[in-house]
């Protein structure tokens, strides 16, 4: 069997261009990869952006080189480093996600992201019993050689990190230099020094509501399975569990009293097919025996099938492309829709649909969900460069 060749190292100019491309207006993980595939390099993609957005009648300016120079300097000051999606050291499991982050900013021991990981998540206002349970479970998982991933929130997340030290990964919704919540600043710094700290947002970014689902997809994507210790219905922890299920990973939950509102989310997950666990040994058995076919029957949304973005490079461009973008735009609503469903409804080829979505996204007419689904932007976002 022929060994897979490692990608060539990035030149300094291409690495800089990749950061600039990702920070440009209306570009997310999926459109970033499509642009790289279509144009072969970030430098070429940057040059093509005004023309692509102009097809929808929008004037486009990419992120300025000065803004990226300031970001790179801030990353260095924070003692952090960039990790690109196609370079050695990028977590393989995370890379399997349709919406995997193209660039991560990290501090700490990158080898932890290559080891078998378990996500442990739960309520911020957790009960004292659940906090102790999370700490005890995480300690047992770490002693068994697993790495515990969580989001540095109050309650369950913080307890999971503390129990697993030093075998823990913290994923934050802010920049690598921003501690949130502020009372977890010592914990975040300890994770950066003894474990691994990961951010997707550039330095200086304060956490916003839209950043947390993105953070949750990284938590779920890094791990072979997600354990929910205590959670209310409609909580962020259940979003993480759903994203784990959509990625084909194990979903586990610890049951709680039906009289405890903070346990309703876990009980709901179990009722919908998550694996009920009561001891750390059960989690260890599930993770160590994971073969890619989860035992959990937790229901999964339709999601979006993987697409070979390289097919965009072979797509023939013609006058009909403007009509294609308009046709796809007409099918979009404010409710999320999978790209596979758009392909079925439009009757167009996958590459044509993806290219039309790329143009709509660059023009600010489309938004993508953490799971890759798309919807019409609630308000058109003018592509203004930083």
pLDDT in tens, 116-131: 999 999 999 999 999 9
Cα torsion 76, 78, 80, 84 to 10°: value is -70
pLDDT digits (tens, 9 = 90+) for 22-61: 999 999 998 999 899 889 999 999 999 998 888 778 889 9
More confident residue, 351 or 33: 33
Peptide bond into 77 cis (omega under 30): no
- Name the segment(s) of the chain with CATH classification 3.40.50.450: 107-288
Across all residues in the chain, what is the average pLDDT? 89
Sign of CA dihedral 243, 244, 247, 252: negative
- The answer to whether 97 touches 246, Cβ cutoff 8 Å, is no
Predicted confidence at residue 333, as pLDDT, reads 87
Q: How confident is the model at residue 307 (pLDDT cuts 50, 70, 90)?
A: low
Tokens representing 377 are 């932007």
Q: 316: how many CB neighbours lie within 10 A of its CB?
A: 8
Task: Look at residues 295, 273, 266 and name the one whose alpha carbon lies nearest to residue 282.
Answer: 295
Q: Are strands 168-172 and 196-199 parallel, antiparallel or unpaired?
A: parallel
Predicted confidence at residue 266, as pLDDT, reads 95
Task: Look at residues 81, 102, 216, 247 and name the one whose alpha carbon lies nearest to residue 149.
Answer: 216
The b/e string for 215-226 (b: 16+ C-beta within 10 A; e otherwise) is bbbbbbbbbbbb
Q: Which residues contact 101 (CB under 8 A, 6 or more apart)?
A: 29, 85, 94, 200, 214, 218
Task: Look at residues 267, 335, 269, 341 and name the one whose alpha carbon lies nearest to residue 303.
Answer: 341
More confident residue, 142 or 233: 142
Helix (H) or strand (E) holding 67: helix 65-77
Q: What is the CB-side half-sphere exposure of residue 341 using CA atoms within 13 A?
A: 14
pTM of the model: 0.88
Assigned CATH for 312-376: 1.10.10.10
Q: How confident is the model at residue 1 (pLDDT cuts 50, 70, 90)?
A: very low
Describe the chain by its helix, strand, coil percentages, rounded to 5: 45, 10, 40
Q: What is the mean pLDDT of residues 331-336?
A: 88
CA distance 355 to 52: 10
- Name the segment(s) of the chain with CATH classification 1.10.10.10: 312-376
Would you say how long the chain is, in residues? 386
Q: Is the pLDDT of residue 385 over 70?
A: no
Say which CATH topology domain 107-288 has. Rossmann fold (3.40.50)
pLDDT digits (tens, 9 = 90+) for 73-83: 999 999 999 99
More confident residue, 313 or 292: 292
Q: Which residues contact 221 (CB under 8 A, 6 or more apart)?
A: 91, 93, 94, 96, 97, 100, 243, 247
- The answer to whether 229 touches 129, Cβ cutoff 8 Å, is no
Q: Are strands 275-276 and 250-253 parallel, antiparallel or unpaired?
A: parallel
Minimum mean pLDDT range among 11-20, 219-228, 232-241, 271-280: 232-241
- The answer to whether 231 touches 262, Cβ cutoff 8 Å, is yes
Output 185-191 pairs: Cβ under 8 A, ≥24 positions apart.
187/152, 187/158, 187/161, 187/162, 188/152, 190/165, 191/108, 191/152, 191/161
């Amino acid at each position: 069997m022929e060994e897979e060749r490692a990608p060539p190292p990035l030149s300094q100019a291409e690495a800089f261009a990749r950061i600039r491309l990702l920070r440009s207006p209306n570009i997310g993980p999926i459109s970033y990869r499509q642009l790289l595939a279509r144009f072969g390099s970030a430098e070429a993609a940057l040059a093509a952006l005004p023309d692509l957005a102009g097809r929808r009648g929008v004037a486009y300016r990419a992120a300025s080189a000065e803004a990226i120079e300031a970001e790179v300097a801030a990353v260095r000051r924070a003692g952090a480093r960039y990790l690109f999606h196609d370079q050695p050291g990028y977590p393989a499991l995370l890379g399997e996600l349709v919406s995997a982050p193209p660039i991560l900013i990290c501090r700490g021991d990158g080898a932890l992201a290559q080891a078998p990981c378990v996500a442990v998540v739960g309520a911020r206002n957790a009960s004292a019993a659940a906090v102790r349970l999370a700490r005890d479970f995480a300690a047992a998982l770490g002693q068994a050689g697993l790495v515990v991933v969580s989001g540095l929130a109050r309650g369950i997340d913080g307890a999971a990190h503390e129990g697993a030290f030093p075998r823990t990964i913290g994923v934050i919704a802010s920049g690598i230099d921003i501690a949130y919540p502020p009372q977890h600043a010592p914990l975040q710094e300890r994770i950066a020094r003894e474990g691994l700290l990961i951010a997707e947002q550039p330095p200086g970014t304060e956490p916003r509501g839209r950043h947390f689902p993105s953070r949750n997809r990284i938590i779920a994507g890094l791990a072979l399975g997600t354990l929910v210790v205590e959670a209310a219905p409609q909580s962020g922890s259940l979003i993480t569990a759903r994203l784990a299920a959509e990625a084909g990973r194990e979903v586990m939950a610890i049951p709680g009293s039906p009289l405890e509102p903070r346990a309703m989310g876990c009980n709901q997950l179990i009722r919908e097919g998550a694996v009920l666990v009561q001891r750390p040994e059960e989690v260890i058995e599930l993770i160590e025996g994971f073969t890619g076919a989860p035992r959990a029957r937790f229901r999964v949304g339709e999601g979006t099938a993987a697409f070979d973005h390289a097919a965009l490079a072979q797509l023939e461009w013609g006058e009909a492309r403007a009509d294609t973008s308009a046709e796809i735009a007409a099918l979009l609503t404010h409710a999320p829709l999978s790209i596979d469903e758009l392909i079925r409804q439009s009757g167009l080829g996958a590459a044509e649909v993806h290219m039309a979505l790329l143009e709509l996204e660059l023009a600010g007419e489309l938004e993508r969900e953490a799971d890759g689904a798309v919807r019409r932007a609630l308000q058109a976002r003018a592509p203004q460069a930083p």
